[in-house]
Amino acid sequence: MSDLASTADGAAVRAYHLADEPHPSSGTALGFWLYLMSDCLIFAALFATYGVLGRNYAGGPGGAELFDLKLVAINTAFLLLSSITFGFAMLQKQQNKVGGTLGWLVVTGLFGLCFLGLELYEFHHLIKEGATPQSSAFLSAFFALVGTHGLHVTFGTIWLVVLMIQIAKHGLIHENKRRLMCLSMFWHFLDVVWIGVFTFVYLMGVL
């Protein structure tokens, strides 16, 4: 009888601590998945808009004349490599290696910055050639879709830097591991979206 009582007391204590936890892992994961689903809707709307307007050139140049596939392929490689290095960081996190985790996060951030740098170079080159968002519906949809993705990568890079500071200061505590998991999902999500952009906008745009 005493064993049953102690078991019940232990279960009550565990239930109390779970309810008292300010950020349960399951709740955080669910909330972040809901955020990613809302982001999916945003990009789905932008892809649909580009699908409708992507051939409306208003007498101006189209994707075949404007896009540099070699440059875009290099940029795609930067983002894909950043996703791989983030995976290495997560492996180091599982082994509780702070230095290894930070090292791979630094490499990930550098790849992210390279991606953003080439994207800004592309935008600058297009605008210099007169291909501005106001030139045609095609370019409006292009800048809206690719620019929104670029803003997400910018936000993800800032988040990465802030999280690196937190890890360097506090180590791989439970909260930082949870934040790393959320950022990992976000970063890989941006990778998937970019593959869609590369295929739907750039590859199909030069045909």
CATH number at residue 116: 1.20.120.80
Q: How confident is the model over 37-42, as a mean pLDDT?
A: 96
pLDDT at 29: 79
Tens of pLDDT, residue by residue over 134-168, are 999 999 999 999 999 999 999 999 999 999 999 99
Confidence at 14, pLDDT banded by 50, 70, 90:
very low
- Residue 13 belongs to a domain: no
- Residue 19 belongs to a domain: no
- 14-24: buried (b, 16+ CB within 10 Å) or exposed (e) per residue? eeeeeeeeeee
pLDDT at 9 over 70: no
- Residue 4 belongs to a domain: no
pLDDT at 8 over 80: no
Tens of pLDDT, residue by residue over 51-100, are 999 999 999 999 999 999 999 999 999 999 999 999 999 999 999 999 99
- Residue 116 belongs to a domain: yes
pLDDT at 27: 72
- Residue 11 belongs to a domain: no
- Residue 46 belongs to a domain: yes
- Residue 177 belongs to a domain: yes
pLDDT at 12 over 50: no
pTM of the entire structure? 0.86
pLDDT at 24: 57
Specify whether the CB–CB gap between 148 and 194 falls below 8 A: no
How many structural domains is the chain composed of?
Answer: 1
- Residue 20 belongs to a domain: no
Q: Residue 71: which domain range?
A: 25-205
